[in-house]
Structure 1
């Protein structure tokens, strides 16, 4: 009787564990491991999408270029030329949400569905409340970065330091505070960019593809990023290099780079999330 009771308790305990297993750490069950060089395959798949749907990608990229010109003009007209650089750098924080239409285009092409610009813009309407919450999170990160950059600029160069835009680079180079400003500013920017990348690496395409909450999507994105930190570090580095090169000719390169990375991000999500 004692042995039977022990077996009964063990069986009951096993059943409780089995019942609780699906509820424990769902983000661990969907994250997949990938080799270090996998980001190159994502870029190749993104390039194939861009070639198949150039009208989508270049219209999308062209709109972002125009928005960049408009933002720069507004900042220069307001007499805060120093804000152009942090605002441009902050583009890395909000770009994952901007790409929602490109994720929808790749999703439709993958399923063999019709792809038009109007249908791709519906990507912003799929799981719209959760996407809106994600947008608020990324926007707050962006605003925090802008305010922090302004504070650092005032601390190192002084509140009265406001040369004309054509004189700003030389004025900063002559200042002895340029190096500490760059070191600390780059460090703060790196931390914020790393946070934004970890929470949005796959969360936004996942919310477009599935009926999932923003909290669940962020947890899965963080899990995927940490478990594949080598491949994701390479992926983040490629995004930074490509985007930085695209920004140099006054944002013109974004017309090509933004749709390429947007389509590739969809394939990264499909590869990283079971």
Structure 2
């Protein structure tokens, strides 16, 4: 019998139904089914260098990953540009730019998938990044992503409160006036110091709970609680190396954001791939 494409509406409905069923099944497995216990390995700064080198190798082998990143960060640039032209939102420019890195571990899930497949010797293309949707742990990955989104929102609210208690509540007239307030007044410097301290606390929480949790969820069906706990154990056993890793990521993200986030087209894929290899150096299932 000759197969035909059929009615496009029917085809679309059938595929949407299949995707919905997969998401439902994934959510039901959020607790995880893995029986093996992850083992935490000791880390050194050499592991960071190896992860970056392997991440760069993955990037060279899969340059189409840039297409994945290009869809995300120009949107952020447009968002920040819109904020810059809206005086009421000027105090949120830096918090949004800095806080967006809190979502980085979730935004790079597709890159972890590419590295995972390449590690197994499988063929990869830019479509491989979308293969994460078919992961049995897709629901758990979404839940962990929502956790990061909640932290991001909490950071923005905290940053707005800090501004209100220092330079606010009167809105700045324009960007230059706002920068002058921030850099030339005691209240502005107080806002900077308090904001950096509070922001560091938020970043530390994200680093401790998601340094390896997303790659772990992609690699094993361990569930959200176990993934977060494992990430924390990696941080607790290797605090200096994990903090160095987080600091390096922050520096590279800042450098890549100048100008207009263009550098992130190169930085983000390398960091995403490197994070997968950092996870492989930190966790073993024996």
- TM class, shorter-chain normalised? 0.7 to 0.9
Q: How many residues align?
A: 248
Distance 1:185 1:245 in 2: 20
- Residue 129 of structure 1 and its aligned partner are, at CA, apart by 1.1
Q: Contact conserved, 1:199 with 1:218, CA < 8 A, in 2? A: yes
Structure 1 stretch 184-193 or stretch 243-252: which is displaced more?
A: 243-252
Structure 1 segments, 4+ long, off by >6 Å, are none
- Return closer, same or farther for 1:28/1:186 CA change in 2, 3 Å cut-off: farther
| Cα 1:161/1:74, change in 2 over 3 Å | closer
1:189 aligns with 2:199: yes
* Bigger radius of gyration: 1
**More helix by proportion, 1 or 2?**
1
Work out whether 1:270 is the aligned partner of 2:265: no
The equivalent of 1:93 in structure 2 is 102
> What is the CA–CA distance in structure 1 between the aligned matches of 2:268 and 2:277, rounded to whole Å?
15
SS at match of 1:166: helix
- Residue by residue, what CA displacement relative to the aligned partner does 1:120-150 show, whole Å, maximum 9, x if unpaired? 1122442111011101110110000000101
Paired residue for 1:48?
A: 57
Determine the C-alpha separation between the residues in 2 that align with 1:226 and 1:214.
18
Q: Give, in whole Å, the separation in 1 of the partners of 2:37 and 2:62.
A: 34
TM-score, structure 1 as length reference: 0.86
Pair 1:28–1:192, CA change in 2 (3 A) = farther
Indicate the residue corresponding to 2:84 in structure 1. 76
Quote how far apart the aligned CAs of 1:92 are.
1.8
User: Please, which moves more after superposition, 202-211 or 67-76?
Assistant: 67-76
Q: Which residue of 2 aligns with 1:20?
A: none
Shift of 1:77: 4.7
| 1:215-234 superposed matches below 5 A | 215-234=225-244
**Residue in 2 that maps onto 1:156:** 166
Distance between the aligned counterparts of 2:36 and 2:186, measured in 1? Answer: 48
**C-alpha deviation, 1:180, in angstroms:** 1.4
> CA–CA distance in 1 between the matches of 2:98 and 2:70?
19
CA-CA distance at 1:86 after TM superposition: 0.2
Does the residue aligned with 1:267 lie in a helix, a strand or coil?
A: helix
Give the 5 Å matches for 1:102-251: 102-126=111-135, 127-251=137-261
Structure 2: which 5+ residue stretches go unaligned?
Answer: 1-34
How far 1:173 moved relative to its partner? 1.9
Bigger drift between 140-149 and 155-164 goes to 155-164
Q: State the alpha-carbon separation in 2 of the partners of residues 70 and 197 from structure 1.
A: 27
CA distance in 2, matches of 1:36, 1:28: 25
Verify the 8 A CA contact 1:47 1:260 in the aligned structure 2: yes
Task: Look up the SS of the partner of 1:148 in the other structure.
Answer: helix
Q: 1:153 to 1:201 in 2, by over 3 A?
A: same
| Contact 2:151/2:202 (<8 A) preserved | yes
- Unaligned 5+ residue runs, structure 1? 1-25
Q: Shift of the alpha carbon at 1:175?
A: 2.0
